[in-house]
Chains A and B, each alone.
Chain A
């Protein structure tokens, strides 16, 4: 029943001459949540940002290997705009744009050239519902997005990513700036979202990975140490390093 959405093959990544990702191989299963865990500085963010070619924004960065999305190597694609509508991203801190709630969600549609008002309205409503935010904002769609609480802003950003119907959404520690209640809401939302898209999430919080994900990848110093079903990683890991990390006995 599970299909592979993305295949990462022999991925290396360099910041200038510094090699930060070392020969990473991993499959992302469609309609599943895959968590990336590992100590700070091990390269989780760097890895995540390869999928939407965020590193292209800065000079001197270099990729090697392949990331195949539906068979196409996205490290070679020229059309970054199309790529980024297929691969969405949600950041650590909420990033609402300085515009209304409605315009935030509609922004990706505007970029795609979807202009028909009724269509845009429908998609905005659907996306806000999918992000479990509709009931809270339906009466104030024209208010500035910055007037929302942190947790609401993060769900708004998720709605914005959902609006363009991406194949996958990348999350980089999406709850680390939120309180426990807002975090719980986002986690619940994530488990629903895998019905409509695929999720790759970096988390510093191992319990979170255990709670929400089907697959977990453990990274250490730029290498993928172990990748397996989440229960397996957390109950009976193959590698000693993984076990040390998840039991908190890390030296």
Chain B
């Protein structure tokens, strides 16, 4: 009897502690999200997207240059990162699948996905920015690509390994050479998985600040030339939130809002594709 009672009390305490910590965690998450949504939503208007930053004190500025800069940097990062990630993952899962070195590369890529991104920023800074003598959109794109590559590499590798080996043999048995087996059968079967990995990696780099701070830096003018310093949403948020002007704070909230919504949508879309694939 007494033991049972003790157990009940212990159980009760454990349950309350777990619930309490969950509530604390959730509280901050909800707090952050709602303040971004409330403050951000009030900062959203057309001029946020259509105007470039105004000089301090003059109202009506926007972040057009940062949106466009972010878009250009992200697209360039994808152009570098997606092919390398997908081809690398393909090598690991196909040509190099029985190779000891492949296992090592996968393990390294796994480690890289949890690397502090600021290290990547400093790395690209010393490798590209210093020799070139100036910050640039290219350097920013390279930094983001370096963060994307291990993510895409690993999701590609894992997705391709899910395609049954017999399917490849069936294609070989029809006379297909290996590259066509991969292109026509393996990639097709793995398409949603590959796409999901790419989406999630984009969502991941969209929120990076540190690597861009050291590479593309910032620019308060609109530029389409990636060879110049380029503004991005995250760096802009960082600088404007630190700044003394309420107008800057408002813009930072607006930009945060847009990023949060973007990441949310990408993650939901990614999850949707994963579910769809599992159902098949």
Footprint of B on A, CB under 8 Å?
A: 52, 54, 57, 80-85, 88-89, 91-93, 95, 97-99, 107-108, 111-112, 146, 157, 160-161, 164
Nearest CB of chain B from residue A223's CB, rounded to whole Å:
26
Query: With A98-B185, A99-B188 known to touch, is A146 a contact of B175 (CB < 8 Å)?
Result: no
- B175 adjacent to A108 (CB under 8 Å): yes
- Within 8 Å by CB of A95, from B166, B175, B177, B188, lies B166
Q: Count A-B contacts at CB 8 Å.
A: 64
Are B170's CB and A97's CB within 8 A?
yes
B188 to A108, Cβ gap below 8 A? Answer: no
B164 / chain A contacts, CB cutoff of 8 Å: 93, 95
**Interface residues in B154-212 (C-beta closer than 8 Å to A):** 164, 166-167, 169-177, 180, 184-185, 188-189
Residues of A near B176 (CB, < 8 A) are 81, 107, 111
A-side contacts of B2, CB under 8 Å: none
**B280 CB–A CB distance under 8 Å:** yes
A-B contact pairs, 16 of them (CB 8 A): A54-B169, A81-B175, A84-B174, A84-B175, A85-B174, A88-B174, A97-B167, A97-B170, A97-B184, A98-B189, A99-B184, A99-B188, A107-B184, A111-B176, A157-B170, A161-B174
**In the assembled complex, which residues on chain B have CB atoms less than 8 Å from the CB atom of A83?**
175
A89 to B174, CA, bound (A): 8
Cβ of B168 to closest chain A Cβ, rounded Å: 9
Residues in B whose Cβ lies below 8 Å from that of A80: 175
Alpha-carbon distance between A188 and B170 when the two chains are bound, in angstroms: 23
Q: Does B175 lie within 8 Å of A111, measured CB to CB?
A: yes
- Residues on A with beta carbons closer than 8 Å to the beta carbon of B185: 97-98
Shortest CB-to-CB span from B1 to chain A, Å, is 57
Number of residues on chain B facing chain A (CB within 8 A): 18
How near does chain A come to B94, taking the closest CB pair, in angstroms?
12
Q: How far is the CA of A89 from the CA of B164 in the complex (A)?
A: 17
Chain A residues with CB under 8 A of B280: 146
Which of B166, B170, B175, B180 has a CB less than 8 Å from the CB of A85? B175
Partner of A88, one of B169, B173, B188, B189: B173
Counting chain A CB atoms within 10 Å of each CB, the highest count among B167, B172, B174, B184 belongs to B174
The interface residues of chain A lying within 8 Å CB-to-CB of B172 are 54, 57, 84
Q: Across the interface, which residues of A come within 8 angstroms of B171, CB to CB?
A: 97, 107
B-chain residues with CB within 8 Å of residue A57 when the two chains form the complex = 169, 172
When the two chains form their complex, are residues A111 and B180 in contact, meaning their CB atoms are under 8 A apart?
yes
**Chain B positions within 8 Å of A146 at CB level:** 280
CB distance from B162 to the nearest CB of A (A): 12
A52 to B170, CA, bound (A): 11
Residues of B within 8 A of A99 (CB): 184, 188
Residues of B within 8 A of A89 (CB): 170, 173
A160 lies within 8 A of B174 (CB): yes
When the two chains form their complex, are residues B170 and A95 in contact, meaning their CB atoms are under 8 A apart?
yes
Residues of A within 8 A of B170 (CB): 89, 91, 95, 97, 157
Q: How far is the CA of A88 from the CA of B170 in the complex (A)?
A: 10
Distance in Å: Cβ of A238 to nearest Cβ of chain B: 34
Structural contact, A81 and B188, CB atoms closer than 8 A: no
Write the nearest CB–CB distance from B186 to chain A, whole angstroms.
Answer: 9
Measured CA separation A33–B166 after assembly (Å): 24
Contacts of A161 in B (CB 8 A): 174
- In the bound complex, do residue A81 and residue B173 qualify as a contact, i.e. CB atoms below 8 Å apart? no
A95-B164, A97-B184 known; 7 new pairs, CB 8 Å cut-off, are: A81-B176, A91-B170, A97-B167, A98-B167, A107-B171, A107-B176, A111-B180
Docked Cα-Cα span, A5 to B164, in Å, equals 33
Q: List the A side residues contacting B169 at CB < 8 Å.
A: 54, 57, 91, 95
Taken together as a complex, chains A and B put the C-alpha atoms of A18 and B185 apart, in Å, by 32
Chain B residues contacting A92 (CB-CB under 8 Å) are 166
The answer to whether A84 touches B173 (Cβ under 8 A) is yes
Chain A residues near B189 (CB-CB < 8 A)? 97-98
Given contacts A91-B166, A93-B166, A146-B280, whether A54 and B173 have CB atoms under 8 Å apart is yes
Q: List, in ascending order, chain A residues with CB within 8 A of B188's CB.
A: 97-99
**Bound state CA distance, A38 and B166, in angstroms?**
23
A163 and chain B: residue at smallest CB distance:
B174
